[in-house]
Structures are given as C-alpha cells and as structure tokens.
A and B are shown apart, each in its own frame.
Chain A
Amino acid sequence: MQSTPIEQLSDELYRALKDNQPIAPLSERHPQLTLQQAYELQLNVLARRQRENGERVIGKKIGVTSQVVMEQLKVDQPDFGHLTSAMLRADGAAIAVADLIAPKAEGEIAFLLKEDLRGPGLTVADVLRATECVMPCIEIVDSRIRDWQIRIQDTVADNASSALFVLGDAAVDPRELELGLVGMTLELNGEIASTGAGAAALGHPANAVAWLANTLGGFGMALEAGEVILSGALSAMVPVKAGDNLRISLGGIGSASVRFT
C-alpha cells in the first residue's frame, strides 16, 4: 500500500492558502488518506501559520453539522477546524474577495467560553454552564481544493474549509434563549437568501459544542476559556462575490454584516 506523503501535502496546502491557488483534491490523488491523517495535515498547516505568520489560535469551528451535508460527504459526524487571529474580521468589515478563492458565507451562532471544556462525557448542560455568551456570526468559508471538489478528508485537511469569520453586534446569555429555536435570516443584497433555525446545527447548537469538546477530549485536548466556538451553519451557504452585501440576523440574539469588495 502506498504511504501518504504528509510533509509534501502539508506544504501544498499551506502554499495554496498563502498564494490563493487551489490544488487538486488530495483524496483523489491519495485515496488511502485517512481522516486521522487529514487532521494531522490540518495541524501541520496550523503550526506553520503560527510559526511563520505569528497567527494565534482563538477558537474552533464545527463543520458538517447538518444532515444534508453529512449525507453529501457520506459521514455520520461533524468535523472541526481551528480559528486563528488572522481569520477574525470586524462587524461591517469590507472583505476583499481577491484574497479568497471561491468564498461562500453562512450564518451561525458563536459561543464564547468562560471555562475550559474537557471531554469526554460532556453534555449540553456543561456547555451552557461554561458559556459566557452567544453571538451572531457570519462565517466565510473557502476551499483550497479546486472547485470545492471535497471529500471529508479534503475539507478536514483544509482546516474544515474555513477562511474568515465575523462576530456581530450583540452578546447574549444563553440562559435567556431556546437556542434550538433561534431563527436565522440571511439577506444578500437586501433579499432573503436563506433562513434557518438553531436546530439545524446537530439538533441544538450546544450539542455541536459538546460533540467537539468530547471529540477533542479523546485526543487529550480541551476547549479553553476565552475561545470562540462556531457551532455550525444554520442554513445552506451562499456564494459571494465583489459588490455583495450580506447580513444575518438571529432571533433574540442580534445581527452581523459584511460587504465584499
């Protein structure tokens, strides 16, 4: 059996990210690539971003949280990626699409943690107890894999297809909300592009965070106090281009917006 050239693929992914040049699907060229190796690639690229660009890890994102996307990628659980200081943009920011490859946007609920969450064995109750506040969040995803031709190994290696994220105008105590029923409206250039509700993220956004804490716990890792956790898309993602204005609003939480230039 052919072995996977981890170092070479890490380097390819890092360059694709740096140069905005997509690469052919890893899973196509290396069908033996395992999910564990894909996470290894993700961590390699992350280490290089920290080392060479001084990026700091400020949180995590959970992806593949909807039934539809799980079926598309033929998996039965979500995946995760890392959020770094270089990925954060301010509410209302202008984002240059020239710095991205094939960006898409989605609306989510972000959790800001006030206590560490160390799995396994954590429940929704632990997540709510450890949460300082929840915030509206626009995640801008992008794929360093050509034309989004991704299998689960490709997106995991590519940091769960993450690119940028924007936290919105409000921070709300999750005890005030029925998070599964929080409605989300995504408007693109003033028109409703998609809507969803909290339950789209693994049945309940806090359930997605518990999944992540328990999964990381299996590797001896924890979610840390102060980290931002993006709990998963609440509706289908929408492609964006220069000139687009995008706004999301979340019932009982608040809103966030970005424009693309």
Chain B
Amino acid sequence: MALDRQTIEELALHLDGAEQQARAVAKITDAFPDMDWQDAYAIQDAIRELKQARGVRIAGLKMGLTSHAKMRQMGVVEPIHGFVTDYGAVADGGEIDTRGLIHPKVEAEIAFVTRRALRGPGCHVGTVLAATELVLPAVEVIDSRYENFRFDLKSVIADNTSSARYVLGGRPHSARGLDLKNLGVVMERNGRIVATASAAAVLGHPAQSVAMLANMLGARGREIPAGTLILTGGVTEAVAVEAGDNVNVRFQHLGSVSMRFV
C-alpha cells in the first residue's frame, strides 16, 4: 500500500461527502498518483464503515467493468466490485430525484440473490448457479463522483464503483431452466429504444460475474454470504438520464423494470 491510514480515511470522507452533497470532485489519483489497487479498495472499505456508522445498511454487492472489450481497453484482466446500500434502493416504477445525483446514467443488469455462501478461489458458473436462490431484473443508476465522468480504475474503485441507486423489479426466476447467456434486454428512454443486448455482454454469462466476485473476495479472505444481492454488471451501455426522463427496461423471461427521473 502506498497511502497511510490517515490519508485513506481523509479520502473516504472526501468521496462520501461528495456523494452526500451531490458535488463532483477531481479524480483522486490526480493528487495521489502512486496509490495502488489495495489503497483503492481500502478507501472503498473506509467509505462503507463511515456509512455503516451512520446507520446505513449494506444491501448487497455490485460488479463493474464486466465487459471483456472494456477490460481490454482499460488494460486489466479482472472486473471491479463495490457495494449497494439500503438508501440506494428505489421501488419498481418509482421516482428518482436527480437533485441528489451529479450526472446519473442507467444500465440494465441481471441481479442474483444467493442461497448459500460462495467462497473463492475456484468458483465457477456451476457453483454459482447451485448457490443461487433467484435472479431478477434490475436497473442500476450509476453516478461517478468525478467531474465529467473522467476517471481511472483506481479512482472508480475508491468511489465505490460509481454506485448510487438501483431498481429491482419484474419477475424473479430460478437461475435454472433459464438461458441466462442469451437472455435479451431492451432499454427504452421516453418510449424510444436506446439499447438492446443479451446478458452475454456480462463476462459471457452473468453467473461468471458472480464467480469472479467470489474469487476476487476469496483472494482477500472474504466470501459472499448466503442471502446476498449481487448486481452483476451492465448488460447494456450506460445511458445518461436527466429530470423528466422515463426509463423502461424489458427482460426476456423476467418482466420489466421502470423508473422516472424528476
């Protein structure tokens, strides 16, 4: 680690404050170019502790950078992960107040809920499907706390992978008997189709995203506990939204999820 404990805690306060005040800040690697991956996750962990100390409940985990093409673009071989909170949850069909956000974008995702704990290394699609209680359709609202969405991966990890809001909805389904790889997703903004994709866009198969999360956490001596909600990463591109927008996403076999931005 390149940063000392005090710096990590200060950066956590800085980023958590930026989120609470919906204020964009410069990416932190500008001031700390030497920070490493461990520092980045240590800052994210410190943000998690700050939130928990305020009474926030951690509602689940999320994966980011789950497209092979984007990983290659960024020169990495692993996705990144963060967490989602109780206050980030928005009911299906609900309103999202853009005043609490900086420059929100939406992406369609497949969410998993685990039935048993998953501990890497060695987790694969089979272990994940066997440990999955259900899958359900989701839309994640991401909101980088960095100016103009300009960032590098370490800054994003420290910023809890741009986690902001999420909407779960549609029709829950057992992970079995579902062709999750080729599951189609159609995103509409204000009635116009803005993205279509299949869930294979997420690391070839969304269960692979959960397996990689378990393996990345396992490398740090952690696990995915039973009953954990996991947002597995964007199936579609992230689409910018503003007040007045209606977003509706239809999922093959899983129903739809919608929300309004005000």
A residues apposed to B, CB below 8 Å: 67, 178, 180-185, 191-192, 195-200, 203, 234-235, 249-252
Contact = CB atoms under 8 A, between A and B. Distances in A.
B182 A185 contact: yes
B193 A192 contact: no
Nearest to B251: A181
Interface string B174-188: 000001011111100
Given A249-B181, A252-B179, A181 B252 contact: yes
Contacts of A252: 179, 182, 252
Residue from A178, A195, A249, A250 with most neighbouring chain B CB atoms (10 Å): A195
B193 A183 contact: no
B80 to A, nearest CB: 19
A192 B252 contact: no
Contact of A183 (B68, B182, B192, B204): B182
Contacts of A183: 179, 181-185, 197-200, 252
B210 to A, nearest CB: 17
17 contacts: A67-B192, A180-B250, A182-B252, A183-B184, A191-B68, A192-B68, A192-B69, A196-B196, A198-B186, A198-B196, A199-B193, A199-B196, A199-B250, A203-B193, A251-B182, A252-B179, A252-B252
A198 B181 CA distance: 15
Most chain B C-beta atoms within 10 Å of own C-beta, residue among A180, A192, A196: A192
Contacts of A199: 184, 186, 193, 196, 250
B110 to A, nearest CB: 11
Nearest to A107: B198
Interface in B206-241: 235
A204 to B, nearest CB: 10
B183 A251 contact: yes
A249 B252 CA distance: 14
B196 A234 contact: yes
A181, A182, A198, A250 interface centre (most CB from chain B within 10 Å):
A181
A89 to B, nearest CB: 22
A136 to B, nearest CB: 10
B201 interface: yes
B70 to A, nearest CB: 11
Nearest to A178: B252
Given A178-B252, A195-B197, A252-B182, 14 more contacts: A181-B186, A183-B198, A183-B252, A185-B181, A185-B198, A192-B200, A192-B201, A197-B184, A197-B186, A197-B252, A199-B184, A199-B186, A199-B250, A200-B196
A181 B182 contact: no
Nearest to A184: B198
B201 A195 contact: yes
Contacts of B251: 181
Contacts of A180: 184, 186, 250
A196 B251 CA distance: 12
Nearest to A250: B182
A179 to B, nearest CB: 9
Contacts of B182: 182-185, 249-252
A134 B115 CA distance: 37
Leading 8 A-B pairs by shortest Cβ distance: A183-B198, A183-B184, A197-B184, A251-B182, A181-B252, A185-B200, A197-B196, A195-B198
Nearest to B185: A197
Contacts of A235: 196-197
B198 A196 contact: yes
